[in-house]
Amino acid sequence: MARASRPKKIRNLVLVLGDQLSSDLSSLAACDRTRDLVVMCEVVAEATYVRHHKKKIILLFSAMRHFAEELRSLGWRVAYTRLDDDGNSGNLTGEVARAVATYRPQRILITEPGEWRLLQNIRSWSRLLDLPVDVRADTRFISSTDEFASWAKGRKQLRMEYFYRDMRRKTGLLMDGPAPVGGQWNFDHDNRKTAKADLFIPEPAHFQQDATTREVVALVKDRFANHFGDADPFWFAVTRSDAEAAFDHFVNVGLAQFGDYQDAMLTGQRFLYHSIVSMYLNCGLLDPLAMCLKVDAAYRAGHVPLNAAEGYIRQVIGWREYVRGIYWLKMPEYAASNGLDHKIPLPDFYWTGETNMTCLREAVTQTKEEAYAHHIQRLMVTGNFALLAGISPQALHEWYLAVYADAYEWVELPNTIGMSQFADGGLLASKPYAASGAYINRMSDYCGSCAYDVKQRTGLNACPFNALYWDFIRRHATTIKSNPRMAQMVRTYDKFPDEEKSRIIASAENFLAGLKPSSAWP
Ligand code: FAD
Ligand code: DLZ
Ligand code: SF4
């Protein structure tokens, strides 16, 4: 641990976690930089509880090192443990215990962490270290966990749309007094355009590595060589000013078409009109309200249309806040939910990308190279396939948590268990996001270069999504029938001739039997 200069008497020891890199953090706001000590530590346990993508570890370690310097320049004393420092105990409890032994603080202060397992861990420190531990609310969110719990109380259905409207009222974003700008809360129906290869598509902002990042890249390649994903090329922002520049770049060149092409997918176009900022936002380099104020201002200045501004703001103050609310409301039971009783192991191609299905190959390959895939790739390609095939939601959850630079359980788990796998019995999503190849064909250009035929339902050449889709409808007909948005699919399946039903079952079984279970990155 790089020693901080020893003050007269340390009052608070403030532990700042790798995804708490915000100078307005509630724990820091409660402290006095002349009397208190910030502790930050790179630890193997946090880097390996799932085998995070190399790029995610590089982002966090480099951003942590830069943030420690930022705090020092603001007058804070910071004790920072690097991964390879002598005596690094390898886990947060051990590092806090070492810091307590060295600096003898009167109290430990921390902003609540983003994962339930870590909160339990932190709650044990008071007894273990014989010190008061003060856990502060994370005020970087627009809605507190208590506020969400009050909103949810007594409601039969926890629909995002109603929560989102309250967040619009609370923040005043895109509001004309009490009414939504444009007279409508949601312009999602305008946001279904398919992209064409000849569109001008802006690249996200890339950043040069400085000496700190280069050092971290070498460290991660050396120490986490057996983790999923490519370390090179690493072009993410690792400081607040660069993350803000990345977001401003998006507002200037991508936002105007964010709405139109939100659901589109194109071969070789990994980013389309998405903002590529979730990895910065979730580790604290960006502030969600500040981002949305910029989007609101861009709309009011006439630079972007309303469907784009509204669609973007909905993702950030709607979905992002809502999934966090669900996570803290329902944990720890939520993590074990398996409402459809899906048990198939994760196929190996989720780690290797080796499959003849173009859509899945594209999504997994870019995930490996970029630690990023956009929402529709996650929901309607990797997620949809897992849902149709009956893959264990817990195995899939571990995958999503490991492979994306923006993944923390508070946001990843509800998206996987609830939105994507319908494993929570419909608490989060009003219907399963299940779709056949026709949807992927409509929203992408993947099928044109695929080894499978998207128009065929059964047989060796048929798009596997098709037989799997109808087999999913058959297997879950009882659940699906009671859902007004899905019941029609059960009626359609029921009308298929018996021979077609047998062909569907045989095609699905045959395809699933040929899948190699995950072995490379268990
Ligand atoms: P944009 O498309 O530009 O959207 C803007 C911002 O809105 C994002 O940066 C993000 O902060 C927020 N947002 C959009 N959709 C969601 C959503 N459904 N939930 C929460 N925030 C949202 N997002 C994560 O941040 N971390 C995860 O671990 C994660 N896991 C996911 C797993 C599955 C199975 C699915 C279906 C979605 C997951 N998402 C996750 C949501 C979404 O896919 C990503 O937020 C988005 O792709 C990030 O890319 P972007 O910054 O370009 O987002
Ligand atoms: C994700 C992560 C990684 C890879 N490494 C560290 C680390 O070394 N030190 C640290 O304080 N935090 C790290 N994190 C982030 C934590 O895992 C995160 O704070 C919890 O998952 C809660 O969101
Ligand atoms: Fe994916 Fe099927 Fe299209 Fe191939 S044909 S890209 S498997 S949807």
Residues 42 and 191 in one domain: no
**What is d(CA 409, CA 11) in angstroms, rounded to the nearest whole number?**
32
Q: Which atom of ligand 2 is nearest to the CA of 47?
A: 4
Residue 522 pLDDT = 41
Question: The domain spanning residue 291 has which CATH number?
Answer: 1.25.40.80
Tell me, yes or no, whether 522 lies in a domain. Answer: no
Strand 12-15 relative to strand 37-41, pairing: parallel
Q: Which atom of ligand 3 is nearest to the CA of 450?
A: 4
In sequence order, which residues have a C-beta less than 8 Å from that of residue 49 and are 6 or more positions away? 117
pLDDT band at 10 (very low <50, low <70, confident <90, very high): confident
Residues 388 and 506 in one domain: yes
| Residue with CA closest to ligand 3 atom 6 | 447
Residues 191 and 116 in one domain: no
**413-428 confidence digits (pLDDT tens):** 999 999 999 999 999 9
Tell me, yes or no, whether 337 lies in a domain. Answer: no
| Residue with CA closest to ligand 2 atom 10 | 18
258 CA to middle of ligand 3, Å?
25
DSSP SS3 for 215: helix
Q: Which atom of ligand 1 is nearest to the CA of 408?
A: 28
In single-letter form, the type of residue at position 18 comes to: G
Among residues of the chain, what percentage have pLDDT more than 70?
A: 96
Residues 272 and 418 in one domain: no
Q: Does 289 score more than 90 pLDDT?
A: yes
Across the range 351-370, mean pLDDT stands at: 96
Closest by alpha carbon to 143, among 412, 371, 342, 326?
326
User: Which ligand is nearest the CA of 349, by number?
Assistant: 3
Question: The domain spanning residue 103 has which CATH number?
Answer: 3.40.50.620
Residues 324 and 394 in one domain: no
440 CA to middle of ligand 3, Å?
7
Across the range 105-109, mean pLDDT stands at: 96
Q: Where are the alpha helices (DSSP H) in 207-316?
A: 211-223, 240-253, 278-281, 288-300, 306-313
Strand order through the sheet with 37-41: 77-81, 37-41, 12-15, 107-111, 133-136
Cβ(258) – ligand 3 distance below 6 Å: no
DSSP SS3 for 136: strand
pLDDT band at 28 (very low <50, low <70, confident <90, very high): very high
CA distances 202 to 72, 84, 238, 276, Å, are 36, 39, 21, 12
Residue 273 pLDDT = 82
Across the range 300-326, mean pLDDT stands at: 96
**140-155 confidence digits (pLDDT tens):** 999 999 999 999 998 8
Q: Which two tokens stand for residue 444?
A: 């992408």
Closest by alpha carbon to 29, among 18, 41, 38?
38
User: Which ligand is nearest the CA of 312, by number?
Assistant: 1
| Pocket, ligand 1, Cβ cutoff 6 A | 274-278, 281-282, 315-316, 319-320, 323, 374-375, 378-379, 383, 400, 404, 406-407, 411-412, 415-416, 419-420
Using the CB atoms, write b or e for 361-391: b if 16+ within 10 Å: bbbbbbbbebbbbbbbbbbbbbbbbbbbbbb
Cβ atoms within 10 Å, residue 300: 12
Angle at 396 between CA 344 and CA 238, to 5 degrees: 160
Q: Does 274 score more than 90 pLDDT?
A: no
Cβ(447) – ligand 3 distance below 6 Å: yes
Phi-psi region of 342 (alpha: psi -120 to 50; beta: other; left: phi over 0): beta
Residues 49 and 183 in one domain: no
Q: Which atom of ligand 2 is nearest to the CA of 18?
A: 12
Q: Does 62 score more than 90 pLDDT?
A: yes
Which secondary structure element, helix H or strand E, spans residue 147, and what is its range?
helix 145-152
**What is d(CA 435, CA 419) in angstroms, rounded to the nearest whole number?**
14
Tell me, yes or no, whether 335 lies in a domain. Answer: no
**What is d(CA 183, CA 60) in angstroms, rounded to the nearest whole number?**
41
Q: How many CA atoms lie within 13 A of 511 on its CB side?
A: 28
121 CA to middle of ligand 2, Å?
13
Closest by alpha carbon to 494, among 484, 504, 483?
504
Instruction: Judge residue 97's burial from the number of C-beta atoms within 10 Å of its C-beta, 0-12 exposed, 13-18 middle, 19 or more buried.
Output: middle
Residues 321 and 361 in one domain: no
DSSP SS3 for 190: helix
Count of residues in the chain = 522
| Pocket, ligand 2, Cβ cutoff 6 A | 17-19, 41-43, 46-47, 52, 57, 60, 113-115, 118, 408
Residue 152 pLDDT = 95
Q: What is the 3-class SS of 349-400, one letter each residue?
A: HHHHCCCCCHHHHHHHHHHHHHCCCCHHHHHHHHHHHHHHHCECHHHHHHHH
Q: Which atom of ligand 2 is nearest to the CA of 16?
A: 11
Residues 66 and 113 in one domain: yes
- Determine the structural domain holding residue 96 and report its residue range: 12-136
Across the range 247-276, mean pLDDT stands at: 86
**Ligand 2 site-directed mutation target among 13, 17, 53, most atoms within 8 Å of CB:** 17
Q: Which two tokens stand for residue 470?
A: 């109808």
Contact present, 42 and 64 (Cβ < 8 Å): yes
Of 180-194, 255-269, 295-309, the range with the highest mean pLDDT is: 295-309
Tell me, yes or no, whether 455 lies in a domain. Answer: yes
| Residue with CA closest to ligand 2 atom 7 | 42
**What is d(CA 303, CA 184) in angstroms, rounded to the nearest whole number?**
20
Tell me, yes or no, whether 244 lies in a domain. Answer: no
Residues 173 and 321 in one domain: yes
Q: Does 298 score more than 60 pLDDT?
A: yes
**440-488 confidence digits (pLDDT tens):** 999 999 999 999 999 999 999 999 999 999 999 999 999 888 888 889 9
Question: The domain spanning residue 482 has which CATH number?
Answer: 1.10.579.10
| Residue with CA closest to ligand 2 atom 4 | 47
Cβ(273) – ligand 3 distance below 6 Å: no
Q: Which of 330, 358, 373 is the last residue of a domain?
A: 330
pLDDT, mean over the chain: 94
Tell me, yes or no, whether 392 lies in a domain. Answer: yes
pTM for the model stands at 0.96
375 CA to middle of ligand 1, Å?
6
Tell me, yes or no, whether 276 lies in a domain. Answer: yes
Across the range 261-267, mean pLDDT stands at: 80
Residue 188 pLDDT = 82
Angle at 165 between CA 25 and CA 320, to 5 degrees: 40
Q: Which of 136, 163, 184 is the last residue of a domain?
A: 136
User: What are the DSSP calls for 443-491, one per residue?
Assistant: HBS-GGG-SSBTT--SSTTB-HHHHHHHHHHHHTHHHHHT-TTTHHHHH
Q: Which atom of ligand 2 is nearest to the CA of 57?
A: 4
452 CA to middle of ligand 3, Å?
6
**503-517 confidence digits (pLDDT tens):** 999 999 999 999 988
Residues 356 and 267 in one domain: no
Q: Which atom of ligand 2 is nearest to the CA of 83?
A: 8
Q: Does 7 score more than 60 pLDDT?
A: no
Sequence-separated contacts (24+) of 431-435 with Cβ below 8 Å:
431/483, 431/485, 431/486, 432/387, 432/476, 432/480, 432/483, 432/486, 433/379, 433/380, 433/383, 433/384, 433/387, 434/384, 434/387, 434/388, 434/469, 434/472, 434/473, 435/380, 435/384, 435/465, 435/469
Instruction: Name which residue leads in pLDDT, 257 or 490.
Output: 490
458 CA to middle of ligand 3, Å?
13
Cβ(454) – ligand 3 distance below 6 Å: yes
User: Which ligand is nearest the CA of 442, by number?
Assistant: 3
Residue 156 pLDDT = 81
Q: Which of 84, 110, 136 is the last residue of a domain?
A: 136
Closest by alpha carbon to 328, among 35, 116, 80?
116
| Residue with CA closest to ligand 1 atom 2 | 274
80 CA to middle of ligand 2, Å?
14
Residue 521 pLDDT = 45
Residues 379 and 459 in one domain: yes
Instruction: Judge residue 126's burial from the number of C-beta atoms within 10 Å of its C-beta, 0-12 exposed, 13-18 middle, 19 or more buried.
Output: middle
Residues 365 and 388 in one domain: yes
112 CA to middle of ligand 2, Å?
13
Tell me, yes or no, whether 214 lies in a domain. Answer: no
Cβ(467) – ligand 3 distance below 6 Å: no
Q: How many domains does the chain have?
A: 3
Cα end-to-end span (Å), the chain? 32
Residue 1 pLDDT = 64
| Beta bridge partners of residue 175, listed in sequence order | 180
283 CA to middle of ligand 1, Å?
13
Q: Does 13 score more than 60 pLDDT?
A: yes
Using the 8-state DSSP alphabet, how is residue 112 labeled?
A: P
**What is d(CA 522, CA 518) in angstroms, rounded to the nearest whole number?**
7
Cβ atoms within 10 Å, residue 226: 10
**What is d(CA 404, CA 413) in angstroms, rounded to the nearest whole number?**
13
Residue 433 pLDDT = 95
